[in-house]
Structure formats: structure tokens, C-alpha cells
Amino acid sequence: MSFCLGLTGSIGMGKSTTAAMFVEEGCALWDADAAVHRLYDKGAAVAPIAARFPDSVDDGVVNRAALKRIIAENPTALKEIEAIVHPLVAQDRAAFRQSAQADILVFDIPLLFETGGDAAMDAVACVTIPADLQRQRVLERGTMSEAQFEQIRVKQMPNDEKCARSDYVIMTDTLDHARRQVTKIVGQIRTGLANA
């Protein structure tokens, strides 16, 4: 029986980089964002989304820019899309859980607490950095404006609350610091599994 570790954290906190560190430690990784990409790219979400929002699909692929436009124009669109996609994502996650061979399964889920996904985990790790460093990292990517960043940030559970609700908190101020914490967490979990 594998140990299921939820990995979460707000935008720009270093979650993807930290997830890769868990893989380096021999953990298996399921990435919620990657699952959505698979579902949108000639996957199971294409037909139901095309049926509801025909303008959002091109050549069997969901056009994310078109979806964003539809969501901006239609106040009920996001809920409708979530109603289609969330069950498919849950199926993808369940299939991973059944097939993965590693002793520790890491579930990279940005909105883990917001969606209640933490209830299905044995423990949760949250990545964190100070708010000023978070803002700096996101804006340095050059992929969004400060207004877009704020729009995303206010939709997410406050960082302090995520950290308080987590079993492990990983400070991602430097790569070395984050890696040491990941190694320690994996060691603690493996010790617990060996003694179970």
C-alpha cells in the first residue's frame, strides 16, 4: 500500500520544482495540471466540452485561450466546465493511484484544500515563500500582469491557512533548502512505512 502525499501551494511558490525533487527521491508523481492538459489534448474532455462550447475546440483539442474568453464572457461557463472536467480528473487520479508502483505517491494539486482533495491524502505538504518573493517570481516569468496575478491569488486559500492545515511546510527560498526538506520528509515517511 503506497503512502499518498498531497503537494500544494499558491501560485509562484515553487510547487513544480519541488514536485520534481520528490521524483528524484523515487516518489511517483501525479500532476493535476498535466492531467487537465491530457484531457484537453484529444482526451476525454474534448467531446463534452465541444458539445457545450463548440467554439472552444479546434482539431480535437480544447483551445484554452478560447475557453478563457468564454469564461470571461459567460458567468456560468466556469462552473459548467468544472462539472465536466473535475470528474474526469478524478478518474485520471484514481487510475494513477491504482497503477503506480512507488512507495510514496505525490499528488501535485494547486487547489487541494479548496476542492477538499486533502481528505483523500495520508498527509499534505505545502510549499511556501514570503509574499514579496512570490510576487517577484510570478512577475519575472513575464506571462501575466500584476492584475492577473492578484486575480489568481485572491481566488486561492490564503498561504498562512494552507501552511497551518498542512502536515509538512516546505520553504522554497533556495533550491538547496527545498531539496533538504524534501529529502527529510521522504525519509520520515519511509521510516513510518517501514515501522507500520
Model pLDDT for residues 65-109, shown as the tens digit of each residue? 999 899 889 989 989 999 999 999 999 999 999 999 999 999 999
Strand residues in 9-148 grouped as ranges (E): 28-31, 57-58, 61-62, 104-108, 123-128
Give the integer Cα–Cα distance in Å for 178 and 171: 6
Close Cβ partners of 66 (under 8 Å, ≥ 6 residues apart): 53, 55, 56, 57, 58
Model pLDDT for residues 113-143, shown as the tens digit of each residue? 988 999 999 999 999 999 999 989 989 988 8
Residue indicated by cell numbers 487541494: 112
Q: What average pLDDT does range 43-50 have in this prediction?
A: 94
Close Cβ partners of 106 (under 8 Å, ≥ 6 residues apart): 5, 7, 19, 22, 23, 27, 28, 29, 30
DSSP-derived letter for residue 47 is H
- Please provide the distance, in angstroms rounded to a whole number, between the alpha carbons at the two ends of the chain: 11
Maximum CA pair distance of the chain?
55
Q: What average pLDDT does range 152-173 have in this prediction?
A: 92
Question: Which bin fits 142, alpha (ψ -120 to 50), beta or left (φ > 0)?
Answer: left
